[in-house]
Amino acid sequence: MTPKQQRSAETLDRILTAAETCFAEHGYDATGVAQICKQASVSKGAFYHHFSSKQAVFMALLNRWLEKTDQQLSSLRQTQSNIPESIRSMAVVPQFILNNSVQQLPIYLEFITQAIREPEIWQTAVEPYRRYNQFFAGIIQAGIQEGTLRELDPQIAASVMISFAVGILLQGFFDPNGADWEQVTQAGVDILLSNWMIRE
Amino acid sequence: MTPKQQRSAETLDRILTAAETCFAEHGYDATGVAQICKQASVSKGAFYHHFSSKQAVFMALLNRWLEKTDQQLSSLRQTQSNIPESIRSMAVVPQFILNNSVQQLPIYLEFITQAIREPEIWQTAVEPYRRYNQFFAGIIQAGIQEGTLRELDPQIAASVMISFAVGILLQGFFDPNGADWEQVTQAGVDILLSNWMIRE
Amino acid sequence: MTPKQQRSAETLDRILTAAETCFAEHGYDATGVAQICKQASVSKGAFYHHFSSKQAVFMALLNRWLEKTDQQLSSLRQTQSNIPESIRSMAVVPQFILNNSVQQLPIYLEFITQAIREPEIWQTAVEPYRRYNQFFAGIIQAGIQEGTLRELDPQIAASVMISFAVGILLQGFFDPNGADWEQVTQAGVDILLSNWMIRE
Amino acid sequence: MTPKQQRSAETLDRILTAAETCFAEHGYDATGVAQICKQASVSKGAFYHHFSSKQAVFMALLNRWLEKTDQQLSSLRQTQSNIPESIRSMAVVPQFILNNSVQQLPIYLEFITQAIREPEIWQTAVEPYRRYNQFFAGIIQAGIQEGTLRELDPQIAASVMISFAVGILLQGFFDPNGADWEQVTQAGVDILLSNWMIRE
DNA sequence: ACTATCGGGACCGCCCGTTAGT
DNA sequence: ACTAACGGGCGGTCCCGATAGT
């Protein structure tokens, strides 16, 4: 890695981070390229050297997020205990997200909003999204095989679980004080497991 | 002079409808006032005669939607059967929405997105939102009283239920063919009720 | 004509005239819309209310010029004398143009240059251009019928005449002092007529 | 080091050729330096290593063209026959240009357009231009001396001839199918010679 | 109530040229 | 000799809103 390449990579990262901040704070449309450049202490020339358009930064941000999520998910699997315990421990995730990355959440909403209208964005997002579904379906499948979960359609079960999580996130995001989201999450997981687990 | 007022009301409605279409199709920011006017076959002057700004139309649209939702909710309650049956029958609602008003959905997402940043929008939206929660909490409360549901915190239960529904809507909207959302809804409702209902 | 319409027409004319000046002085590309607006004492909003783009002004200018040329040509025909005299008297035209509208000439060059690349411009320009050819062919035809010109192909003869005039204009424009263009014109016309006229 | 110099010369030529193509296709102003570099498969640094500015390439192109024209003109003189025949044989030149280098022609128009506004360009172009005039004047002078052309002002005659040719080129370029330019050229040359030649 | 004209700001994208580095 | 990264400014377009007039 020559010093030049390193500098270039730093610039690129500064732009991405600045863009993330700005988009999160003011939204994609309300954020100007000039604003991003200023925040990143980078000239417009540099900006357009690294990205072909404002959209491109948005896409890059999306990809960056998807990669990070991929990593976090795979690290989530390494639990030694049985599947039901595993699922129960996942109950902290929504709460964690709501507590730690509230400011990032508006961007995720915009990812979705844009994905509807920009086929390119949708294409980029839908593939990982479906993979995530498979990931959870796999966990449930494992639970069935290990004999701790009753026989159920893993795909459907995964979708139920994710729907529940997504709903909590969206509402916790929109109205953080409208409910005790921690309790709600807990209650939801309890209900799911009470139905899925095999009682001895 | 009634005919004049009527004409005025028609113009107003044309603007609102046009705005709804445009916002849904291209998004709030990407939609220009001129575009709305053209779609509504109305001059810009007329637009600004009826609305003080683009934001104002957006707010009006939001209010219109909230009112409609209010009506639909209250019509939902008039079920003669017992509460569990009532809830079970609600399972068709998400599917109905996904089938019939897909093109409207992007605008609801924008309502949320904007609500985060515009306190005025948030204020307008959060009150009805909480009311809806209460509405469902009330239903559950009724179920407990009528003896068909076990003792549970109505608020939490309502939130669980709504979270689940919201998650389904968001995903069914983002990836309609990613899962059989009808089955997922059915499965979710079954799980909830199996946990909530009092078994005899 | 209401006062409003009148004001609008004035604005439009101010823009056109300003654009003509700027284009002639600095060229189409080097002239900014802002510059035109400033010269015309008009806001950008007004500019884009009347014209959809910078190109549109250019086209309007072209049309304006073509119309003016149409008028001048038709007024040229009303000569009482015979055709050869008529043609001989036209010899003053190039000189007149070179003396009086030198500053306009760069625009005409740009009309041609752009016409090559913009089919829309070409379409607009080629029709009148061919009409002008017909006009001169008609004159020559008349000379043949009146018995002062020998039998010759009017189309070809007209093209020869016009080619000669165009060449003089282009060179007189590029290098005004490179030759005595008045004499050259005179000599050319003499040669043409000596060949075309019927000697008695 | 010869191989290095050769490589450098090749690069330079690639840039010039690429620039010629781009300028001809999109015009000087509409062509970006980046575009030229891409077409030449060369980096911007290399471009500015060889040329100080975009203008400089343009000038280099102009010079290249003038040199080539110089060569072609001098090769034109080597005719053994008498001057009138020589002139008559030149009638093929415009047709040849129109047939073979139509795509180059827009660039020549830009040479002229720019020459009007850039004194440096004008200076570069006007000297050869006048030399070309002298060249043709010399031919006519020779014709007079050899007794095949009548006594006439060689300068004026040359200008008449060139004007005619220039006019044909410009029109044949603007509207190739507007006339049979071959016939027009032929007719023009015939007229000129019928007037200039000494009849026996 | 409704229209046409207008004001001027601001945004995205690009462009020409420079420079640090190979 | 050649490259990639960068600087900063400008240009066309559009947009929201205001105003003068019907």
pTM of this structure:
0.93
Residue A76's pLDDT is what? 78
In DSSP notation, D62-82 reads: HHHHHHHHHHHHHHHH---S-
Residues of D in contact with C27 (CB under 8 A): 29, 113, 117
Asked if C125 and C115 count as a contact pair (C-beta separation under 8 A), the reply is yes
Which residues of chain B are modeled with pLDDT < 50?
none
- Residue D131, chain C, CB below 8 Å: the answer is no
When the pLDDT of each residue in chain C is averaged and rounded to a whole number, the result is 94
Q: What is the pLDDT of residues A30-66, one digit of tens each?
A: 999 999 999 999 999 999 999 999 999 999 999 999 9
Residue C33's pLDDT is what? 98
Within 7 Å: CB of C6 and strand E?
no
CA dist B184 and B181 (Å) reads 5
Closest chain A residue to B164, measured at CA: A164
- Lowest mean pLDDT across B63-67, C80-84, D153-157: C80-84
Q: In terms of Cα–Cα distance, which of C196, C145, C187 is closest to C167?
A: C187
Burial of B68 (C-beta count, 10 Å sphere; 0-12/13-18/19+): exposed
Within 7 Å: CB of C34 and strand F?
yes
Q: What is the pLDDT of residues C123-156, one digit of tens each?
A: 999 999 999 999 999 999 999 999 999 999 999 9
Residue D129: pLDDT over 80: yes
- Side-chain half-sphere CA neighbours of B65 within 13 A: 21
**List of chains touching D (3+ CB pairs within 8 A):** C
Q: In terms of Cα–Cα distance, which of B138, B124, B17 is closest to B73?
A: B138
Residue D3: pLDDT over 70: no
Question: Which amino acid does the sequence have at D101?
Answer: S
Residue D80: pLDDT over 70: no
- The predicted model gives C34-58 an average pLDDT of 98
Which H helix or E strand runs over C158?
A: helix C154-174
CA dist D16 and D30 (Å) reads 17
Residue whose pair of structure tokens reads 């020779």 in the numeric block: D142
- The predicted model gives C102-124 an average pLDDT of 93
CA dist A115 and A125 (Å) reads 7
The residue of D105, D123, D163 whose CB has the most chain C CBs within 10 angstroms, and thus the best one to mutate to test that interface, is: D163
Asked if B104 and B118 count as a contact pair (C-beta separation under 8 A), the reply is no
Within 7 Å: CB of A50 and strand F?
yes
Q: In terms of Cα–Cα distance, which of B107, B103, B124 is closest to B115?
A: B124
Residue C80's pLDDT is what? 66
- Residue C174, chain D, CB below 8 Å: the answer is yes
Q: In terms of Cα–Cα distance, which of C18, C31, C23 is closest to C10?
A: C18
In DSSP notation, A33-74 reads: HHHHHHHHT--HHHHHHH-SSHHHHHHHHHHHHHHHHHHHHH
Which residues of chain A are modeled with pLDDT < 70?
1, 78-80, 200
Within 7 Å: CB of A5 and strand F?
yes
